[in-house]
Structure 1
């Protein structure tokens, strides 16, 4: 197995490409073993392709298999061959979400009994403990405690990832799941507030509104100020292209003329050309010219 191993825990197909696609493409190209664990198949996602609207949860409820196909296509773009579902396909279902009065995602009042938001935390964590002990990753990537924007499945993924990492390090816990492994570094995905403000100014100069109708002077919690960011991962233009192609592969969720590409391909490449993280566990590596740590594996012995 590679001497550099990266494990990413994301909630639904497409989350990984949007938030970590560049990181995944870079480290695959550098020879690291990259593993993605998706906690659900995103069964409650909005279907943006008219001819596939019949797959939606409120109609035929067959969106999950379609999103697995899209995930496979996206991983091919990024070069990732090891991608799994937590506990196996169908173990946990997308919980869905609503927007609350503050504009943040929140849990629906009525959700399926199989919804990830309702998952037993220990059971779900032990599924991931088995993966951690099998792969022995040096770096684990997941969300912050707010799930970036409040989606219940993102919050649950954060809880499961951290609980699993803690349990996996306990030698006496579930010996049947393999030898203990203490993940050296854990990161939370993040969006840069300063980069968002810069992008909004660039779009304004081009006569376009900011993405998602975000007010650059009153950013939501998912945008983090530079002093609270630890790491900025950049890579080659080829890897940026791979990320954009992976995002396009999630065709039911991301349209070529949608908000993610509204600024045009050149500005999209700038907007998506760096991925930011917050170090939640481990020793930060040296700071580069960007003012941030520039390698998730930096600082490891």
Structure 2
């Protein structure tokens, strides 16, 4: 039986599937330990590429019905991770649309998340923060990981909401940004090359916009036992993540352990023991009272 705790974790992501790729193991682990895990997704990912041939008609340049389908995928992924509290920012009254990749004409639509008023969007998140009172918040860095406008805006909204909620009665103790250390990506690329495969066609970790300097990593969640749940959740996002694509190629060629570690940069609060051999914090709730 899952034992409930008074620990509460909030994650803020841009589109369905971002949460599983970045934080699937973290979410499954803490949920299984009784932590109340809340996921807030800012858009429904209407502009995503559709990888399933039979569903190509859902794309934004055809029937434009991908958003509702990705809501279903997100639900199915959350079932796999054991998460019951997942919401869309502003729901049910407000809905922001996927902005597309940076520089795309969709960026200029009035209804996209990139064009949203920062304080209006942040105040929607403040409502959730004041309701659940999370001690820990996870979101993206100021670059949104790789420069997608919705990721950048999700970062800005999350950080602004944390600032505003502190003036309204709730101070979030620890804030983390997702990160991926360059050395880990380079090791994966090297091993993939050795078996005649690749990862997004990258020759070097420097080719990947989400590769970050190792010294930026302050914390790591390691939970090998929850990797199967993460992979099952990735499969649930079928329109976005192909079982024949680079993510599952990593699993097939390098083993499941490649997904066991999820890395973070602590930007508010203090890192606390226990630490790994590299001095990285191993529990994102460490030191939280």
Tell me the TM-score normalised to structure 2 length. 0.94
Q: What are the Cα deviations for residues 182-202 of structure 1, in whole angstroms up to 9, with x where unaligned?
A: 100000001121111111121
SS at match of 1:295: coil
Deviation at 1:264, TM superposition (A): 4.3
1:43 aligns with 2:84: no
Deviation at 1:109, TM superposition (A): 3.5
One of 84, 95, 98 as aligned partner of 1:94: 98
- C-alpha separation in 2, matches of 1:264 and 1:7: 28
Q: 1:290 to 1:36 in 2, by over 3 A?
A: farther
Deviant stretches of 4+, over 6 Å: none
Q: What are the Cα deviations for residues 252-286 of structure 1, in whole angstroms up to 9, with x where unaligned?
A: 00111111112343625122111000001111112
Check the 8 A contact 1:283/1:300 in 2, yes or no.
Answer: no
SS at match of 1:147: coil
Deviation at 1:287, TM superposition (A): 4.9
Q: What are the Cα deviations for residues 155-191 of structure 1, in whole angstroms up to 9, with x where unaligned?
A: 00000000000000103xxxxxxxx101000000011
Partner of 2:239: 252
Partner of 1:108: 104
Check the 8 A contact 2:250/2:258 in 1, yes or no.
Answer: no
Instruction: Give the unaligned 5+ runs of structure 2.
Output: none
Instruction: Count residues in correspondence.
Output: 283
Check the 8 A contact 2:50/2:240 in 1, yes or no.
Answer: yes
Q: What are the Cα deviations for residues 204-249 of structure 1, in whole angstroms up to 9, with x where unaligned?
A: 221222x011232524342122211001101132x11100110110
Deviation at 1:288, TM superposition (A): 2.0
SS at match of 1:150: coil
Deviation at 1:112, TM superposition (A): 2.4
Check the 8 A contact 1:14/1:253 in 2, yes or no.
Answer: yes
Calculate the aligned-residue CA RMSD, in Å: 1.5
One of 203, 214, 227 as aligned partner of 1:240: 227
One of 164, 168, 174 as aligned partner of 1:167: 164
One of 130, 134, 139 as aligned partner of 2:136: 139
The 5-angstrom pairing of residues 221-240 of structure 1 reads 221-237=209-225, 239-240=226-227
The 5-angstrom pairing of residues 1-301 of structure 1 reads 2-88=5-91, 91-97=95-101, 106-110=102-106, 111-171=108-168, 180-209=169-198, 211-216=199-204, 218-237=206-225, 239-265=226-252, 267-291=254-278, 292-301=280-289
Check the 8 A contact 1:261/1:268 in 2, yes or no.
Answer: no
Check the 8 A contact 2:145/2:209 in 1, yes or no.
Answer: yes
